[in-house]
Amino acid sequence: MPYATVQDMIGRFGETEMLRLSSVDGLLPETVSEAPVQQAISDADAIIDSYLRKRHSVPLGQVPQVITRAACVLARYELMTGGDREPATQVKEDRKDTIAWLVKIAEGTVTLEDVIPIVASSTARTQDRERMFGVFGERGL
């Protein structure tokens, strides 16, 4: 399940913007071309998961609204790059802020509401004390 949908992108950035960004040949289509938008969302999801996997099982089962927003911001940036496209300054800043927020999640200084973190697994323990009775064979044991 993706963290955002084409409809989320249209709702957040407007249909005109998504028509422009989903254009494959530079001509404004009559409807949003879903394939490039879904690819950008998929790329955004992979970026998000790369930060979340340190503390959460990914992909997230229940997607918080803040993650949907992050996916939309990252996907919009992806749609604005490549070829002769150059993201606007605000889009670059939004991406930068989103990545900084994801870093904080990975570090554990920010948490996701209603998302249960991975419980740290137990690790092997060693003991530094000397053996009380020695090694087998010393006393014929």
| pLDDT tens digits, one per residue of 44-78 | 999 999 999 999 999 999 999 999 999 999 999 99
Please indicate, yes or no, if residue 114 is contained in any of the structural domains: no
Against a cut of 0.85, is the pTM above it?
no
The span from the CA of 6 to the CA of 141, in Å, is: 72
Asked if residue 25 is part of any domain, the answer here is yes
Structural domain contains residue 15:
yes
Mean pLDDT calculated for residue range 77-105: 94
Q: Is residue 122 part of a domain?
A: no
Asked whether residue 93 is domain-assigned, the answer is yes
Q: How many domains does the chain have?
A: 1
* Assigned token pair, 112: 């996701």
Range of 37's domain?
A: 6-107
122: confidence class by pLDDT, cuts 50, 70, 90: very low
Q: For residue 13, is it within any domain?
A: yes
* Residue 24 pLDDT greater than 70, yes or no: yes
- Answer whether residue 85 is part of any domain: yes
Count Cα atoms within 13 angstroms, Cβ side, for 37.
22
